Amino acid sequence: MPSDPFTHLDPDQQVKVLPRHLAGPGPLDLTTVWPFPKDWVVRQADDGAAFASSPCLRLFTTLAPDPDQPRKGTWTVTAHSAPFGPATWQVTFDATTPAELLHDFHTELTDLYLQDSSQDHLFQDHTPPHEAYALLLARGWGHEVKTDGTQLFRDPQSLGVVRHRYATPSTDTPLWSASGGHPGEPYWRARFTRGTPTTLVAAFTASLVSTEPASRAVKDIPLPTRHQLYVAATTPAQQTSVSTPLPASPPRPGPGRTR
């Protein structure tokens, strides 16, 4: 088993680590996770529960915290083709999902919403599925095609998984799903129902394998997978006590979108 890179660091030490999907959720900052325009309604209760809606009343997002559960609650995005009509698609994330992944997903959601007035990309997205997994393959994730109409993408340690149901007729199962942590008991999960724009899935998977490190306090990094993390940087006071920083990487390409 690889050594724990945090053994000699103070629990309150801030570090930047990779890969993102094993870094833990990070601090909850609602304005960071939800970068919505000012005309959106955003409300948060004293218990941490939060709600946001678009002015057109077709997009609703919620945070339902549950501190007594292992994954601490759920983030949910629901889209309606008509205000107050039935849901057209829905995305859910465990509250333990890394904040950087949530931010990048909601940033793309906001971008799609702002460009949606004439083209309706929220409900008629023509982005091909490979846009959502091409970057996984480019980053060295494995690929397995199964006979049940699904394909799996796994990181080299099999601690990150993306599943795509490309030929499954059931509408009750998510078309895309992802998880981070040990496969039998992942630390976080994400689910995208049928109808979810592939552009949004692509934004999430691009963030999943981004080479931009996640900033965490040592005490907040999950114990089960911390030996699989790489320390990219620390604060200056501790800079010499850790491994050599990772080499600079080119900026990640954004997810493709067919307009």
Return the H-helix or E-strand segment holding 198: helix 198-208
Distance CA 229, CA 220 (A): 13
Question: Which residues, in sequence order, are CB contacts of 136 under 8 Å at separation 6+?
Answer: 153, 162, 205, 208, 209
> For residues 123, 125, 129 and 135, what is the CA-based torsion angle, rounded to 10 degrees?
-110
Residues 6 or more apart whose Cβ sits within 8 Å of residue 34: 42, 50, 52, 61, 106
Q: Nearest CA to 144 among 134, 154, 135?
A: 154
| pLDDT for the residue 167 | 85
Q: What is the pLDDT along the chain (259 residues), one digit of tens a residue?
A: 667 788 889 999 999 999 999 999 998 889 999 999 999 999 999 999 999 999 999 999 999 999 888 889 999 999 999 998 999 999 999 999 999 999 999 999 999 998 866 567 898 888 999 999 999 999 999 999 999 899 999 999 999 999 999 887 666 789 999 999 998 899 999 999 999 999 999 999 999 999 999 999 999 999 888 889 998 877 644 443 333 333 434 444 445 444 4
Distances (CA, A) of 86 to 53, 78, 98: 15, 10, 29
pLDDT at res. 5: 81
pLDDT of residue 65: 94
**According to the model, what pLDDT value does residue 233 have?**
79
pLDDT of residue 37: 95
pLDDT number for residue 172: 73
